[in-house]
Structure formats: structure tokens, C-alpha cells
Amino acid sequence: MNNILSCLEGVKTVMIAGHTRPDGDCVGACMGLWHYIRDNYPYIQADVRLEPVPDSYKVIKGVEQIISDYEDDRTYDLFIALDASDKERLAGAKKYFDTAEHTICIDHHISNPGFADENLVLPNASSTCEVLTGLMDIDGISYDAAVALYIGIICDTGVFKYSCTSHRTMDMAGCLMEKGIPYSDLIDDTFYRKSFKQNKILGFALDKCSLVLDGRMIMCILERKELDQFEAGHGDLEGVIDQLRLTKGIEVALLASAADGETSKYKFSMRSNHYADVAAVAAEFGGGGHIRAAGFSAAGDIKEIYGRVEKLIKEQLDTCTME
């Protein structure tokens, strides 16, 4: 594999950034690369810029040094975009991408058009953290970098349960485990352990959800007033969509939730088990992701938006054979 990280040679300043509303793979990739640069290229000044990180990922050492504002006009020698399927997904960090002397993108989203000067997009990889681990000198991966990268892999594979998990995924995870990381604790802390608030919201969502399309899809819409009664934000919904997906007999799970601070803008998360291409549905609304896990944001009448989504999913399900 051509090692795109050779771009680090000779540069003095690097900015690392990922997509808006960073998830485990995004945070893990950014922090894993940050540690790798600090450990192996000590002469490089590396900054990570991300929107605020969910509490479940704060087990990663160094997250307190992430810069979450974009007020300055600093210019970097190199901008590395991680886990971002297009430039717009970089949100506030986009201006630093535009002014950097050189840009690279490392990603695994099939919808990524290759928007940087140099691009490495591997759609068959489970996660950007899997791609990064394969690019790095294994001997140069520290304990702290391994923790970050492992978290990214387990988050995007659902702890190795999703169909994106491959032989190579397990090989890369195994290399990271050999660094002595507490892999069982990391799985519990970042994927399974929930706050009391999160458990309350999960219970509410499970009580409210409905089966549609002859039992082939499960859906739940959480309005702003419902989230407010739990004082909940988007980060508190971690795990809800994955629990819905586990419902026996369904093919597609859908969760729509009012965006933080919004009443008429919604974030849609979709998962499928075997047949449906939810990334194709998300693309119709300007979103993206993977065949079995995708999402998008949309503003407007929720009934009208949901109706369009359900119609697209129905068209897919009607053409496949359910077991």
C-alpha cells in the first residue's frame, strides 16, 4: 500500500480534523494520528480541531488538547482530513483546509470523491482507524495511540459485529491489542456503558418506536420537546439506533431526532441488517455513510421528510427477498 503518511516528512505544522459531530472512528483516528506524530515526528507542531467530543471518548489521552474553535486564521503546512467524506463535512475546519499548503484525505466512505491534493479512500475498510493502523509503522504506535485507534475500530464495527468487519480488521485490532491496551474495558466504556440519562432516553425511544412496512422496518422520531424533558442532546442518543437494529425480523432501523437547539431540523440515522442500502437513501438528502449504516440532516416538516425516506426504503425492500 502506498504510504500517504510520507507527506509528514519535512513539514513543520500539521492540522488534523474530521467530520462534524465526531463519532468514535473520527475521534480515534484524529487522536491516534496526533499521538503517532508526537511520538515519531517530535519536530512537527500538530493540532487537532474537532467539534466537542462526546464524554464516552474522553478515555483517550490528550482529548483535552483538542481545539474546538475556529477563530484564528493560522495557516498550516499540511492539513490531514480524517473520516470526512467531503470537504463540507469538515465544518468550521474547512477554512484551514482551503489555506493549507498541502492537503491529504484518509477515509473509508464510499461516497468520498477525493477532495484533497492526495487521497486514500478504502471503502472496504471497516473504519478510518483500520486504514491508519495499516499505514503506520507498528513499532511506532504507542500505547496511547493504540487506545485511540482501537476505540475507532470497535465503534465503526459495532465491536466486530457489523458486516464491514474483515480479516484485515481483526489483524489490525490484534496489532493494537498487543500494545497492552485494556481492550475489554475500552469496549465497555465506549460502546456499552451508558449514563442514567442515556438509559432513560433509550427506554423512552423503545416505548415510542413503531414497526412499519409490514414489520420490515422499525422507526422512531424524537421531537425537541421530548428530548428537552430529559435535558438530552444528540450525544445522549448513542446506542439507540443500534438497539433498534437488533429487533427480530426487521431489515431497516431508523431514528430521527431533533437537532440540538433546533425545532424543525432533524438528524436521521439509519441501519440495515442484510439487504437495504441505506447510504443510497441518505445520499438523496445530501447525506452519506456506508451501505449498512448512514445518515443525513434535513430541515422542514418531519412527516413529509419521513414519508419520502420511507418510500425510498420501501422501494428497496420490495425488490429484495426477506428471509
pLDDT tens-digit map of 141-188: 999 999 999 999 999 998 998 889 999 999 999 999 999 999 999 999
Average pLDDT over residues 48-68: 94
Give residue 162's pLDDT: 85
Side-chain-side CA neighbours of 140 within 13 Å: the count stands at 18
Residues 107, 128: contact at Cβ < 8 Å? yes
CA distances from 105 to 1, 64, 115, 180, 276 (A): 15, 24, 7, 29, 28
Which 3 state secondary structure label does DSSP give 178? coil
pLDDT tens-digit map of 201-226: 999 999 999 999 999 999 999 999 99
Q: DSSP secondary-structure letter at 54?
A: P
Give residue 1's pLDDT: 45
What whole-number distance in Å separates Cα of residue 168 and Cα of residue 139? 18
pLDDT tens-digit map of 248-276: 999 999 999 998 877 789 999 999 999 99
Give residue 321's pLDDT: 54
Give residue 21's pLDDT: 87
Average pLDDT over residues 291-312: 94
Give residue 233's pLDDT: 85
Q: DSSP secondary-structure letter at 192?
A: I
91 falls in which pLDDT band (50, 70, 90)? confident
Lowest mean pLDDT among 42-51, 143-152, 186-195: 186-195
pLDDT tens-digit map of 231-250: 988 888 988 999 999 999 99
117 falls in which pLDDT band (50, 70, 90)? very high
Q: Tell me the average pLDDT of the chain.
A: 93
HEC string of 239-276 equals CHHHHHHCCCCCCEEEEEEECCCCCCEEEEEEEECCCC
High-pLDDT (> 70) share of the chain, %: 98
Structural domains of the chain sorted by starting position, each given as residue range(s) with its CATH number in brackets: 4-192 (3.90.1640.10), 196-317 (3.10.310.30)
Give residue 322's pLDDT: 46
Give residue 222's pLDDT: 96
Per-residue pLDDT for 56 more than 90?
no
Residues 259, 276: contact at Cβ < 8 Å? no
- Number of neighbouring beta carbons within 10 Å of residue 9: 8
2 falls in which pLDDT band (50, 70, 90)? low
Beta-strand ranges (E) seen in the chain are: 13-17, 45-49, 78-82, 102-107, 118-121, 210-212, 217-222, 252-258, 265-272, 288-289, 293-299
